[in-house]
Amino acid sequence: MSNDPQSIEQKAINSIRTLSMDAVEAANSGHPGTAMALAPVVYELWNNYLRFDPEDPIWPNRDRFVLSVGHASMLLYSALHLTGVKAVNAQYETLGEASVSLEEIKKFRQLDSKTPGHPEYRWTSGVETTTGPLGQGVATSVGMAIGARWMAEHFNRPDFEMFDFDTYALCGDGCMMEGVQAEAASLAGHLKLSNLCWIYDNNKITIEGNTAWAFSEDVATRFISYGWNVTRVGDANDLEMLKRAFDCFKKEDERPTLIIVDSHIAWGAPNKQDTHGAHGSPLGEEEIKLTKRNYQWPEDEKFLVPDGVYSHFKEGIGARSKDLRDSWFKRYEDYKAKHPELADQLFKMQKRDLPEGWDSELPKFEPDAKGMAGRDSSGKVLNAIAQKVPWLIGGSADLAPSTKTRLTFEGAGDFTPADYSGRNFHFGVREHAMGSILNGLSLTKVRPYGSGFMIFSDYARPAIRLSALMEIPVIHIFTHDSIGVGEDGPTHQPIEQLPSLRAIPGLVVLRPGDSNEVVEAWKVIMNLKHEPTALILSRQAMPTLDRSVYNSAEGVQKGAYILADAEGGKPDVILMATGSEVGLAIESYEELKSQGVKARVVSMPSWELFEHQTQEYRDTVLPPSVTARVSIEQASTYGWERYTGLTGARIGMSTFGASAPLKELQKKFGFTKESVVEKAKAQLG
């Protein structure tokens, strides 16, 4: 490969660089430095190694490329443009038009463009995951690599290698400092994910300046200790050394690979004071001209792609990957004939559809005053569904015995370095990495779930937020959902977590109030294709309500429903509750009824689902004319005023909890029948 500026390789590399420079300059916003420095890396990987068909960017067995350094988004947009990646719509149809046209590059960082400031999944075809928060991309890539390994074990058969894709992630010093990266790298090394390659841009620069101010560890030695294969490229411009490094990764079959690439970041103009210059703020017209002159590039041309560059990529990644993609689909047709059941599963999984009869064995729970903990009934439902949906897989952050999320049926097995076929995952005490890995798994189209105590949802929150931003149906299961944790005390008792999860746009939060509501909650979850869920479950038993006396739990499907009503359907006061407090609301309702007070109980397991209903339905459940209202929930009352009104009563937590047996805590914080009845009567004046 030639370093001659007039060679086609260098023209292709410099096209990536100059498109990035010109786009950032036009936007007067962004970071060209990393894109300019790493253009040779992306060129070599994409044109000579990546198995990715630009004509079909959602081909199931494609290699995945993750830009963990999301601020260098123009690096990816330039690659998508130059390789001619086609756009795909929400119905998985290739539209024939460019995913990133030259016009879209000119609209970098502008409203509604396909080139937002950081890459966004589902917005721009060819972007495999949303990145920007540093460390998230590499952590998500571990989930993609795990997904490839699990799908290979599940779907591959002799003469039919349906899944063998690799995952590449490009990261920088910022990613290497983030804790989530260390969690994920540790697990990847333990699992021996030899289909995973991280490319570390070792440029010694962050936003504040030189990394020496805050970062002096020996990254190579750290990764060797994790069980990774580590190799180095001393100059990011050395295409021969990059080739050798990628060949080294392809030959490695026992360990994930870290390629450390030394680069010198392109700095902004000397007179610029913006600290983002460390990543390369807009360079300014004069410096752009000087840089282009250095590349032997027409210095007055903007958004130039020289003759031969498009065809060079078409003859490289285009031709190579089209052959791979076409042969895969031919193999799939033969696979359908020989293994029709597996082929049907593969097709349904890719479309996020469910198998016929997936809900045919769901349990029904008989009335029981003692009842069952939400975590216990959920475990039974999860196992019933997982037997019918083979690609429903997941685990816990070291808490499966407590969260009841272990799949216990014959053949479920454990996912280990020795056996990638198991459906039970062990994430270790790594909540943040677990959330990111679940995102990566979901992006490979399996249906993943992960579990932990609700208090530790805070550790996973950035990944939960990204699952909502990407509109992928990850299932987040959180147990030990309230002061019901009792003696474990305030460090383990969630207070503000429930309203904070409800605050995430697009996340469906479900807090079912008895075992049959748990069943209905799982029905909601499994039918979602574009929304992640947070299933909130109790540790303590909740009475299983008699549905011949009270209304059907199917009301969960609408988010909130009338569980018990005043005679004639005309209440004077409404009691609203979620989760373990639904039983308390029913107790209080019965007491009020015995005292001649007309009350209604509304179970509200999901505010989000309720808000999606028609105004007419919502007014039927919560008539505007009935202003006497009481909410009951063992969490912060933040947000309940939306349903109680400013004059309604809100029984909840305004402080942290305490360490004591549950009954004492309920009495101390007002979660008793007497307290609810008193507040309800006070509402009636």
Pick from 350, 330, 349: which is nearest to 161 by CA? Answer: 330
**Hunting for tokens 């840089």 — which residue is that?**
291
Q: Would you state the structure tokens that stand for residue 114, as one six-digit string?
A: 């396909």
Pick from 301, 434, 363, 325: which is nearest to 62 by CA? Answer: 325
Question: Region 494-504: what's the mean pLDDT?
Answer: 98
Does pLDDT of 210 surpass 60?
A: yes
pLDDT at 280: 55
- Please give the positions annotated as active site: 431
Question: Region 160-170: what's the mean pLDDT?
Answer: 98
Q: Pairing relation of β-strands 86-88 and 94-98? A: antiparallel
Question: Region 134-141: what's the mean pLDDT?
Answer: 98
- Whether the CB-CB separation of 67 and 104 falls below 8 Å is answered with no
**Hunting for tokens 């290979």 — which residue is that?**
152
Q: Give pLDDT tens digits for 305-330.
A: 999 999 999 999 999 999 999 999 99
* C-alpha span between 648 and 180 (Å, rounded): 42
- How far out from the chain centre does Cα 76 lie? 20
- Whether the CB-CB separation of 176 and 258 falls below 8 Å is answered with no
* C-alpha span between 398 and 539 (Å, rounded): 16
Residue 140: CB partners within 8 Å, gap ≥ 6?
66, 129, 131, 436, 437, 439, 440, 443, 466
pLDDT at 276: 35
Spell out the domains of the chain, with CATH numbers in brackets: 8-325 (3.40.50.970), 368-542 (3.40.50.970), 558-683 (3.40.50.920)
Q: Give pLDDT tens digits for 554-602.
A: 999 999 999 999 999 999 999 999 999 999 999 999 999 999 999 999 9
Lowest pLDDT segment from 227-231, 265-269, 350-354? 265-269
**Hunting for tokens 């390659």 — which residue is that?**
197
Q: Give pLDDT tens digits for 623-649.
A: 999 999 999 999 999 999 999 999 999
Q: What is the mean pLDDT of the chain?
A: 95
pLDDT at 271: 35
Q: Give pLDDT tens digits for 87-136.
A: 998 888 877 899 999 999 999 999 999 999 999 999 999 999 999 999 99
pLDDT at 652: 97
571 phi, psi to nearest 5 deg: -80, 155
Does pLDDT of 379 surpass 90?
A: yes
Q: Give pLDDT tens digits for 408-465.
A: 999 999 999 999 999 999 999 999 999 999 999 999 999 999 999 999 999 999 999 9
442 phi, psi to nearest 5 deg: -60, -35
Cross-strand partners of 651: 632
- Whether the CB-CB separation of 540 and 526 falls below 8 Å is answered with no
Does pLDDT of 272 surpass 70?
A: no
- Band (pLDDT 50/70/90 cuts) for residue 203 is confident
Does pLDDT of 206 surpass 80?
A: no
Pick from 466, 420, 442: which is nearest to 349 by CA? Answer: 442
SS3 at position 636: strand
Give percent above pLDDT 70 in the chain.
Answer: 97
pTM of the full predicted structure?
0.96
Does pLDDT of 685 surpass 60?
A: yes
Question: Region 476-486: what's the mean pLDDT?
Answer: 96
* C-alpha span between 176 and 182 (Å, rounded): 7
345 phi, psi to nearest 5 deg: -60, -45
- DSSP class per residue in 27-92: HT-S--HHHHHHHHHHHHHHHHT----TT-TT-TT--EEEESSGGGHHHHHHHHHHTTPEEE-TTS
pLDDT at 481: 97
Does pLDDT of 86 surpass 70?
A: yes
pLDDT at 2: 58
Residue 549: CB partners within 8 Å, gap ≥ 6?
none
pLDDT at 238: 95
Give percent above pLDDT 90 in the chain.
Answer: 91
**Hunting for tokens 């029904």 — which residue is that?**
364
